[in-house]
């Protein structure tokens, strides 16, 4: 992060410095961190893909049944993979008390949260989008409505990312963190999971009664509630 | 006139017994732990 | 935290009411036409369900007060309410399962209210686990309060999503309307559980308070106490006596001097 700062300063020398919003700075930091640890993302993706494979063993080689349940498998795999990705997202903040250092900066801690949450959202969206081809191949579950599917993935990833980032900030500071994060997160995201699975299933299997909009609205409502609520309480969670 | 569900007393008894065991058990557990903590505190004083 | 015996009186009254209501419901209430004897399970199931929601709502209130005002008393009550809520939610799920078996032939029928209760059980159980794993008492208090607020905000979302998800598969009637003949045992048991849990939550809160004391403000060594010639040692608890745990709290109160002139000074840096 120091290197990035110095490079940035060098680039700015001779030019008038434009103030950067704290959110943009936090987002940039987190995206940079994720880029530098992209090998981890690939590992998490492989984990998700193998989970998708293993789920099929629960049903057996029944093509029709597999296709029926493919949406559920996709989101379960993404949910499991997200616990790894989210837990990793605060790893660098825990090293050398970096979190305290960040909080000392003259910036609203909420900017820190939203930067991290948006970065996690992007990462989870990438994961989800990456798992879709795996699902298509394994379960013969494709859809013509690709933009809609991408939209659902973004909304669902947002539902995982907002509370997930908050809880990752909490559990990163305690022991048994790898157990606590899913324990706290899973019951909470039930509405988002339900809505995402239903919406994806409708896209794959067909939507004769036009219910997609309603499930999407539920996802949007969940995201709206948790992106605002978690941002509000983040400061209390990380303060000393 | 017998209802759609005939009998069923065993389920009723099961439900009431489980409720009694859990409620009384929890009550006892709270009381026991409270007494233990009180006596621990009083012993130190 | 208080020392009076009211929890025992109220709890005892609750138990007596439960005994009365259950006897009435079991032996004297009329048999329902379609559900037969199985309907009698409602006399414990519905009161438990009502009180589970009530206790969890109380936990939510404690969490809000704890976050906004601070104070160890509210954290103690929060801990008690979460634990009681988990116990009651678990009981509701078990009762609902026992009721579902003869009625629907399955142990679990994804009824929206029961499923929401199950999700709440896991959510609040997780918060209990969180409290176990956090060693710093202040962090434990703040984090569990935050987690309770977040979990409680989820309740309507969970309920509607499950109800909707379920309605597309099966339509079932849940014992929503109870006819007048069945009201009394229900009400008596409802108050019975309410009083019992009120007493238990208070006792459990006192237990939590004692533990906080031991954690944060260990009692002075006996020699110092004896040095106060003949006087009884000062009581523990209450903000005005010595030896109280230092208040933690809300952004606007002082308490421990925060490092770096932090959040209690308005938060803007």
The CA radius of gyration of chain C, in Å to the nearest whole number, is 23
Q: How many helices (H) and strands (E) would you count in chain B? A: 1, 0
Q: CATH no. for residue C137? A: 1.20.120
What residues does C203 pair with on adjacent strands?
Answer: none
Contact A116, A89 (CB under 8 A): yes
- Does A contact B via 3+ CB–CB distances below 8 Å? no
ipTM: 0.88
Best of C124, C148, C161, C263 to substitute, by most chain A Cβ atoms within 10 angstroms, is C161
b/e map C29-68, b = 16+ CB within 10 Å: beebeebbbbbbbbbbbbbbbbbbbbbbebbbebbbbbbe
What confidence tens digit (pLDDT) does each residue in A39-72 have? 989 999 999 999 999 999 988 888 899 999 999 9
Contact state of B16 with C207 under an 8 Å Cβ cutoff? no
CA C224, C229, C233 angle in degrees (round to 5)?
60
Q: What is the pLDDT of residue C165?
A: 87
Could you report the per-residue pLDDT of C90-120, keeping only the tens digit for each? 999 999 999 999 888 889 988 899 999 999 9
- What confidence tier does C237 reach under pLDDT thresholds 50, 70, 90? very low
Chain C positions in Cβ-Cβ contact with residue B23 (cut-off 8 Å): 18, 91, 193, 196
The alpha carbon of residue A26 is apart from the nearest alpha carbon of chain C, in Å, by: 16
Say which of C18, C44, C219 has its CB closest to residue B15.
Answer: C44
Indicate the average pLDDT of chain A: 89
Contact A180 C126 (CB under 8 A): yes
Distance of CA C145 to the CA centre of its chain: 13
Three-state secondary structure call for residue A228? helix
**Contact at CB, C161 and A229, closer than 8 angstroms:** no
- Nearest-by-CA chain C residue for B9: C37
What's the pLDDT band for A107 if we cut at 50, 70, 90?
A: confident
Q: Say if CB A168 and CB A235 are below 8 A apart.
A: no
| Interchain CB contact of B9 with C (< 8 Å) | yes
Residue C24 lies in a domain: yes
Question: What pLDDT is stored for residue C239 in this prediction?
Answer: 45
Instruction: Tell whether the model's pLDDT for residue A99 goes beyond 70.
Output: yes
Count of the separate structural domains present in chain C: 1
Give chains near C: 3+ CB pairs under 8 A: A, B
Domain ranges of chain B: 7-45
Contacts of C82 in chain A (CB under 8 A): none
Q: Is the pTM of this model over 0.90?
A: no
Q: What does residue C36 show for φ and ψ, rounded to 5 degrees?
A: 65, -145
Contact A27, A121 (CB under 8 A): no
pLDDT higher than 50, residue C166: yes
Domain, as residue range, for C150:
6-173+180-216
Contacts of A214 in chain C (CB under 8 A): 164
For residue C249, the model assigns a pLDDT of 56
Which tens digits make up the pLDDT trace of A165-190? Answer: 999 999 988 888 889 999 999 999 99
Is C67 within 8 Å of A163 when comparing Cβ atoms? no
């Amino acid at each position: 992060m120091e290197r990035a700062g110095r490079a940035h300063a060098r680039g700015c020398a001779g030019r008038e410095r434009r103030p950067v919003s704290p959110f943009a700075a936090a987002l940039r930091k987190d995206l940079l961190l994720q880029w530098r640890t992209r090998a981890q993302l690939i590992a998490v993706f492989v984990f998700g893909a193998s989970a998708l494979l293993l789920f099929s063993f629960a049903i057996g080689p029944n093509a029709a049944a597999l296709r029926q349940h493919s949406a559920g498998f996709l989101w379960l795999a993404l949910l499991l993979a997200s616990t790894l990705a989210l837990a990793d997202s605060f790893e660098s903040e825990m090293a050398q008390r970096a979190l305290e250092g960040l909080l000392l900066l003259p910036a609203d801690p909420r900017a820190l949260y939203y930067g991290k949450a948006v970065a996690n959202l992007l990462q989870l969206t990438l994961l989800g989008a990456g798992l879709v081809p795996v699902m298509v191949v394994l379960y013969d579950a494709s859809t013509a409505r690709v933009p809609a599917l991408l939209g659902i993935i973004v909304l669902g990833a947002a539902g995982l990312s907002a509370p997930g980032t908050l809880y990752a900030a909490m559990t990163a500071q305690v022991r048994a963190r790898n157990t606590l994060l899913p324990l706290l997160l899973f019951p909470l995201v039930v509405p988002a999971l339900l809505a995402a699975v239903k919406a994806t299933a409708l896209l794959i299997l067909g939507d004769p009664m036009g219910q997609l909009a309603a499930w999407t609205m539920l996802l949007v409502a969940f995201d709206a509630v948790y992106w605002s609520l978690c941002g509000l309480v983040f400061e209390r969670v990380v303060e000393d | 006139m017998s209802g759609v569900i005939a009998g069923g007393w065993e389920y009723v008894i099961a439900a009431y017994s489980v409720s009694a065991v859990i409620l009384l058990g929890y009550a006892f557990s709270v009381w026991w732990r409270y007494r233990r903590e009180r006596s621990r505190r009083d012993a130190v004083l | 935290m208080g020392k009076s015996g009211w929890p025992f009186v109220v709890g005892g009254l609750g138990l007596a009411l439960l005994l009365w209501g259950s006897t009435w419901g079991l032996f004297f209430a009329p048999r329902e036409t379609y559900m037969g004897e199985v309907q009698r399970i409602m006399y414990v199931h519905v009161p438990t369900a009502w009180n589970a929601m009530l206790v969890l709502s109380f936990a939510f209130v404690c969490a809000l007060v704890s976050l906004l005002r601070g104070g160890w008393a509210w954290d103690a009550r929060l801990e008690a309410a979460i634990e009681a809520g988990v116990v009651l939610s678990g009981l509701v799920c078990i009762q609902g399962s026992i009721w579902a078996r003869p009625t629907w032939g399955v142990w679990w029928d994804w009824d929206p209210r029961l499923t929401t209760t199950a999700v709440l059980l896991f959510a609040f159980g997780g918060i209990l686990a969180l409290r176990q794993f956090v060693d710093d008492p202040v962090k434990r208090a703040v984090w569990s309060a935050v987690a309770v607020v977040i979990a409680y905000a989820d309740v309507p979302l969970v309920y509607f999503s499950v109800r909707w998800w379920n309605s597309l598969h099966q339509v079932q009637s849940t014992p929503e309307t109870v006819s007048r003949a069945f009201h009394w045992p229900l009400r008596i048991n409802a108050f019975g559980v309410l009083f019992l849990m009120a007493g238990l939550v208070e006792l459990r809160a006192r237990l939590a308070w004692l533990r906080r004391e031991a954690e944060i403000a260990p009692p002075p060594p006996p020699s110092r106490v004896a040095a106060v010639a003949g006087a009884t040692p000062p009581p523990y608890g209450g903000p005005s006596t010595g030896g109280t745990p230092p208040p933690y709290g809300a952004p606007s109160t002082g308490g421990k001097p925060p490092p770096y002139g932090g959040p209690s000074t308005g938060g803007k840096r």
